[in-house]
Chains A and B, each alone.
Chain A
Amino acid sequence: NAGVMQNPRHLVRRRGQEARLRCSPMKGHSHVYWYRQLPEEGLKFMVYLQKENIIDESGMPKERFSAEFPKEGPSILRIQQVVRGDSAAYFCASSPQGQEAFFGQGTRLTVV
């Protein structure tokens, strides 16, 4: 049973470009979470999704950030018009029922 798959592992974007991060949950998991980790800091919750629904987006910045988890395919975290402050590691986690979460290896976004 493969773990949570995130791609790309590393992403470099110039300021103003769009970043698109993908997450395929573990088989049988219908709950997906996105967290952001700044260097030398803990993980901060961004958004919680179930298939086709955003359940909690209280941690998402109001502008430029969006997330989706379509009926088919991976969950996508999209960052428009990236700025240097968006540079961070973005982790996806999946869960079978909601509470026990398994994390992927992350996407390390660098904005230059």
Chain B
Amino acid sequence: QQQVKQSPQSLIVQKGGISIINCAYENTAFDYFPWYQQFPGKGPALLIAIRPDVSEKKEGRFTISFNKSAKQFSLHIMDSQPGDSATYFCAASMSPTSGTYKYIFGTGTRLKVLA
């Protein structure tokens, strides 16, 4: 119930293409879903986040699509660039009815954008 399943594990996209990464969850108490980008040797950087009352959120080339009934959310990277090559993590957290905002992370997707 606490898991967040992320797919695919790795993804290769041509420059200018669309990268799509998917996540699914079980626990309906989750109410905050961020995406993080991590380069080798660096910490995760917050890209974009969404709450369940919104079906889509866009920031620049990054869009989160959220399907509450299916308990799924996805990250779309439009016009993918070589500089987007990194590992992407989805996460979920819930309001602290249990006293914590801890994140449950997906297992990560290693994206490579070919020049």
Contact = CB atoms under 8 A, between A and B. Distances in A.
Chain B facing A: main interface SS: loop
A44 B2 CA distance: 12
Interface stretch (A11-19, A64-72, A73-81, A103-111): A103-111
Contacts of A99: 32, 93, 95, 101
A85 B21 CA distance: 31
B44 A43 contact: yes
B101 A103 contact: no
Interface residues of B, number: 25
Given A99-B93, A102-B46, A104-B43, A55 B107 contact: no
A43 B49 contact: no
Interface in B35-94: 36, 42-46, 49, 89, 93
Given A42-B89, A100-B34, A100-B49, A95 B101 contact: yes
Contact of B43 (A33, A41, A103): A103
Q: 9 closest pairs, A vs B, by CB?
A: A56-B100, A103-B43, A98-B101, A42-B105, A45-B102, A105-B43, A43-B105, A42-B107, A99-B101
14 contacts: A33-B103, A35-B105, A41-B107, A42-B6, A43-B103, A43-B105, A59-B102, A99-B32, A100-B32, A101-B103, A103-B43, A103-B45, A105-B43, A106-B42
Interface of A: 4, 6, 31, 33, 35, 41-45, 48, 55-56, 58-59, 91, 95, 98-106
